[in-house]
Amino acid sequence: MQDKTATAGAASGDDELVELGVAAAAAAIRNGDITSVAYASALLRRARKHADLNSFITIDESAVLTAAQEADKARAAGAVAPLLGVPIGIKDSYATAGVRTTLGVSNLKNFVPKHGADVVVALQDAGGIVFGKNNLVEMSFGLTGHNSTYGQVKNPYSHAHVPGGSSSGSGAAVAARIVPASTGGDTVGSIRVPASLCGVVGYKPTNGRWPGGGVAPVSHTLDTTGILARSVEDCALLDQIVTRNTTAPTSQRSDLRGVRFAHAPRQYMNVIDPETAAHFTAALERLRDAGADVVEVDLGDDFMDTANRLTWNFFFREMREAVTQFVARNNFPVTFDEIYSDIKPQLKAIWSQVVVPGGPGYLSDEGYESALATERPQLQRRLGQVFTHHAADALLLPTTPCPAPLIEHVSSLTIAGHQVDERFLAYNTIPASGAGLPGISIPIGLSTNGLPIGLEIDAAHGEDIALFDLAGRVESLFETLPTPA
């Protein structure tokens, strides 16, 4: 007969272990307070308990436990690697040596790469363990978490709602305490959108700061790898590891005196859910109370239309060439045409219009060159004025225009009386993507029906370290969201 007392004790111990973030878990393992095996085992039990979220495509439990055992041996022998023994989720657009990598498509359901993506190698070099491969929208092409082959990812705060995308499984797994952090990829908002909708922290680096080798692309102009975690501190730690840069935020201040934030309501709050607007407005007041100067700026009547048109043009126009080169360079046993022929009908219909040359919406060479040479620099200059002309340290905005929509309603959303499609979930994240700026989404509360709401903080190009400092100080003003049931 099962010992119920022992079972309850294990459950209680698991609850404490799975709440550990990256830095806390690494310190606990390093100090001998816990073992990597105990931590990994608790996370594996959590993954089994929440398998219905569909946040992972692949978890090799025996490989995770073997790696944890090796980490404990290394620690006993004196190893002090910064991530020693800490499991990390890996979005399945990242190649992982010895672990199945599908890119979310059926053509690659049995493919196991020989080499890992640059980010994965950096994490493993620091002692991190590949916990598993997170579910994602096919080829990172979508914002809802739906995958026709590997299933719909669900939001941990309400399984009837979307988790965001395309890093859907990453956001859901981190929120559900299955892993303390997961990698993501951000082209138009694919880290920040799921971070906002799932109530975690999502960090999009300045474009070019994080390596992209071994990660399936969408647009070489817009793509960046990045991370989803449960604290700004953990994002900053993982940034140091991936960039192999020991520079860390230096401010020891917890208040915001002397900080100047900008917000642009005419651009970022034109169509917005009332509860999201109320949370954002309350957040601005909280920042003022902490000593910050919060100023309103106007980026122009055509700013959002220009940013969205430009960014989606790059997204669609560059995908075919980027994917074709990626699969050949990384020895993936598939071609773009084979992927195209096997994707779900909804996606194929879009690709035939705007991704495949000859489609009626395919951007001409002239239009593409104009976007690169003229329109994108103009967008970068206009956003740059927030930090130069207005002397702001960061730009604030609601990460998404609404909390997570119902899965059944996502094809046609109503926000503040406006009918929009799923792409509108990235409406606010797109300008930073188009300009290549760094951004962090942090959770600032729950809606009346218990869904997370996110605040995005964008900084000037290359100011990632300063962004971590600011975001950490802002984060400290808000209560930690409750763990989803």
- What pLDDT, on a 0 to 100 scale, did the predictor assign at position 55? 98
- What pLDDT, on a 0 to 100 scale, did the predictor assign at position 457? 99
pLDDT by residue (tens digit) across 116-135?
Answer: 999 999 999 999 999 999 99
Say what percent of the chain tops pLDDT 90.
94
Q: How confident is the model at residue 4 (pLDDT cuts 50, 70, 90)?
A: very low
- What pLDDT, on a 0 to 100 scale, did the predictor assign at position 253? 72
Dist CA 158 CA 404 (whole Å): 9
Q: Which residues of 138-167 are buried (b: 16+ CB within 10 A; e: fewer)?
A: bbbbbbbbbbbbbebbbbbbbbebbbbbbb
Whether residue 7 has pLDDT greater than 50: no
Dist CA 217 CA 202 (whole Å): 19
Whether residue 19 has pLDDT greater than 70: yes
pLDDT by residue (tens digit) across 343-357?
Answer: 999 999 999 999 999
Whether 441 is catalytic? no
Matching CATH number, 11-303+372-475, of 3.30.830.10, 3.50.50.60, 3.40.50.300, 3.90.1300.10: 3.90.1300.10
Q: What is the DSSP string of 371-434?
A: IIIIIHHHHHHHHHHHHTTS--SEEEEESSSSSPPBGGGTTSEEETTEEE-GGGGGTTTHHHHH
- What pLDDT, on a 0 to 100 scale, did the predictor assign at position 13? 82
Whether 166 is catalytic? yes
Q: Greatest CA span in the chain, whole angstroms? A: 74
- What pLDDT, on a 0 to 100 scale, did the predictor assign at position 2? 44
Q: How confident is the model at residue 65 (pLDDT cuts 50, 70, 90)?
A: very high
Minimum mean pLDDT among 36-50, 405-419, 423-437: which range? 405-419
- What pLDDT, on a 0 to 100 scale, did the predictor assign at position 3? 47
Catalytic residue of the set 41, 167, 182, 190: 190
- What pLDDT, on a 0 to 100 scale, did the predictor assign at position 459? 98
- What pLDDT, on a 0 to 100 scale, did the predictor assign at position 246? 76
| Average pLDDT value over all residues in the chain | 95
- What pLDDT, on a 0 to 100 scale, did the predictor assign at position 9? 44
Q: Please choose, from the candidates 362, 384, 370, 374, the residue with its C-alpha nearest in 3D space to the C-alpha of residue 461.
A: 384
pLDDT by residue (tens digit) across 155-194?
Answer: 999 999 999 999 999 999 999 999 999 999 999 999 999 9
pLDDT by residue (tens digit) across 280-294?
Answer: 999 999 999 999 999
Average pLDDT of span 447-476: 98
Average pLDDT of span 12-33: 95
pLDDT by residue (tens digit) across 131-161?
Answer: 999 999 999 999 999 999 999 999 999 999 9
